[in-house]
Homo-oligomer: A and B are copies of this chain.
Amino acid sequence: MNRPLIFITNDDSLHAKGIAALVEAARPFGEIVVIAPDKPQSGMGHAITINHPLRLQKATIFHDIEAYACSGTPVDCVKLGVYEVLHRKPDLVLSGINHGANSSTNVLYSGTMSAAVEGAMEHIPSIGFSYCDYDAEADFTAAQWVASQLIPKVLKEGLPLGVCLNVNIPKCKIEELKGIEVCRQAYAFWEDRFDKRLDQFGKPYYWLTGTFDSREEATDTDLHYLDQGYATVVPTQFDLTAHQSIQHLKTILS
């Protein structure tokens, strides 16, 4: 029997510590092919590259594992993987392990999670992993353990059609992790701010910054469980229709 084919990507680039941690977590469960961005692509959301050509370069970074650096976005990596490199659908798409949280509405901006959503759009069981530590030298041991728990379960059970998993792991030692909770995306937002500076010609430029602001006290959300020391699993879909609003809008727009 063939071993499962596992496709791995991320948004922090092929050179990030997090993707190496994910490759190691996945290694016991199948044959692995990696295509990851050749430079950081954080915050790229579901962007695809249509106005520039894409480049793909073979990489020896993981020694015995087939790997490529891609000039595009995480979603480009998934598309190139399925349609140009593998020429078939892998059994599992994994993305991450991201350096930093992708809980709550951060899922919208996250290149890591958009790669998993793209996998779901290809009807491939897909999981995005994010560790709540932005440090380039973060210790991924706890996140790696969570990945090693979830990967075989999803390979065995599959996922509902059109649904991928958004997995976040709190910054902690493995022995401090309280467990893994399935829950919903918290209703919380960035309070943005721009750091305005002047360049050498006196012209302004802006850096996007801000603080993340939780506006709800509910206890069934990813933010709540992360605060309590649990890893969180949010089933995440690409049907953006607000079905509950269709009737109301038929009334007010008629």
Chain A interface residues toward B at CB < 8 A: 40, 42-51, 53-56, 73, 75-76, 79-80, 82-84, 105, 107-109, 114, 117, 121-122, 150, 153, 157, 159-160, 162-163, 165-166, 180, 182-185, 187, 189, 192-194, 196-197, 203-208, 233-243, 245-246, 248-250, 252-253
In the complex, residue of chain B having the shortest beta-carbon distance to the beta carbon of A185: B241
- Using Cβ atoms and an 8 Å threshold, which residues of chain B touch A44? 45, 47
Specify the main secondary structure of chain A where it touches its partner. Answer: mixed
Bound-state Cα–Cα, A183 to B157, Å: 33
**Pairs A–B under 8 Å by Cβ, sample size 20:** A43-B49, A44-B45, A47-B73, A49-B208, A54-B194, A55-B204, A56-B206, A80-B194, A83-B193, A108-B117, A108-B121, A108-B238, A108-B240, A121-B189, A153-B252, A157-B252, A157-B253, A182-B250, A185-B240, A236-B241
Contact B245 A50 (CB under 8 A): no
Bound-state Cα–Cα, A153 to B248, Å: 13
Contact B208 A76 (CB under 8 A): yes
Bound-state Cα–Cα, A53 to B246, Å: 40
